Structure 1
Amino acid sequence: MGLIRNAQGIRGEVVVELLTTAPDAIFASGARVLMGDSTGKLKDGAPALTVESSRPFKGGLMVKFEGTPDRNAAELMRGRYLLVPFGELAPPADDEIYLHDLPGMRVELDTGEHVGEVTSFYELPQGLTLDVATAKGSVLVPYRPEVIESTDSTARIVVVKSDLGIFE
């Protein structure tokens, strides 16, 4: 949900780069988040942090967590990811999907032809890209409106426009 970029000031506040489109609920006063490592992995016994306060700051948030009294304590959190358990996430809107739901989805062309399965995804500077395992090998597919016809999270199907020739 966020990446702690650095400590700010002397009161234990940190600058958080947002990795969510719903920061108001996740970083509301009293909300709890888990602190992952610098790769985004959650280790056993990962500390739960309670948000004391947050406010907008340079395109992200300035966040103060309970139990982080000063800059020294805040510096120890630099470069760590802030996570929320899947079960506590609000359901995505009808036209949205959580990235962790993409692997394992069936991939079809808009003609109905099954072409493969999403094995993983990459967040590249050009945008989200799906890695699709096909009978001929792996194919990278840009997850963009001009390429993806639709995504059905209930049926677990990603439909790709056939006229682009991506799977030929």
Structure 2
Amino acid sequence: MSEHRICVGAIAGAYGVKGEVRLKSFCAEPKAIGDYSPLWSEDGTRQFELALDRPIKNGFAARIDGVRTKEDADALRGTRLFTDRNALPTLPDDEYYHADLIGLTVLDTGGRELGRVSAVHNHGASDVLEVQGPGLKTGALLPFTLEAVPTVDLAAGRIIADPPKGVFPE
């Protein structure tokens, strides 16, 4: 997949019997996924023209060009949908796309390298950065708060962190 594309949603399977799909949106404004059509498969080999029909539990019922039956829709279950990075709106200062954080080097306030961001998780309260690095058997979970992460420098490819005690080995 191109590094210039970002995952904005996924197809969760068929919705009904007339070719509609159940669509999960990963956008901050869920309906915005409809603004990014056409969308691409993860490998970039398939393009999807979609139209949102209506909100449903945990997503939207949507139509995709060429999908006419329940079987066609079910065959797309699990397909992650990507849009070109430059199609997304510019964010205000101190807001970041998760994809922009993954791979950044994490340094403590003294300049010691703690690792690299391997994933960004959100379990409801706030984002948490998963950091993989030297001396870590499993990823360390760093709260993505202003207190724990005072500086994000995308241009330099680094994050300065002041992690809570116990997140990283001493």
**Counterpart for residue 38 of structure 1:** none
- Say which SS state the counterpart of residue 141 (structure 1) adopts: strand
How many residues are matched? 158
Mean Cα displacement is larger for which, 147-156 or 1-10?
147-156
Report the residue type matching 1:43 in the other structure: D
Displacement of 1:125 in angstroms is 5.0
Report the residue type matching 1:24 in the other structure: K
Out of 15, 20, 27, which is 1:8 matched to?
15
**Counterpart for residue 118 of structure 1:** 116
Report the residue type matching 2:70 in the other structure: R
In structure 1, what is the Cα distance between the partners aligned to 2:33 and 2:98?
17
Unmatched runs of 5 consecutive residues or more in structure 1: 36-41
Report the residue type matching 1:48 in the other structure: Q
Q: Which has the higher strand share?
A: 1
State whether structure 2 residue 135 is matched by structure 1 residue 129.
no
In structure 2, what is the Cα distance between the partners aligned to 1:24 and 1:9?
20
Q: Is contact 2:106-2:117 (8 Å) kept? A: no
Unmatched runs of 5 consecutive residues or more in structure 2: 1-7
RMSD of equivalent CA atoms: 2.8
Distance 1:97 1:122, change over 3 A: closer
TM-score, scaled relative to structure 2: 0.74
Identity over aligned pairs, percent:
23
In structure 2, what is the Cα distance between the partners aligned to 1:137 and 1:163?
16
State whether structure 2 residue 33 is matched by structure 1 residue 26.
yes
Q: Is contact 1:2-1:16 (8 Å) kept? A: yes
Distance 1:161 1:153, change over 3 A: same
Report the residue type matching 1:132 in the other structure: Q
TM-score, scaled relative to structure 1: 0.74
Instruction: Map 1:1-168 to 2 at 5 A.
Output: 1-28=8-35, 31-35=37-41, 42-43=42-43, 46-109=45-108, 111-121=109-119, 123=121, 128-134=128-134, 136-137=135-136, 140-145=140-145, 147-162=148-163, 164-167=165-168, 168=170
**Counterpart for residue 4 of structure 2:** none
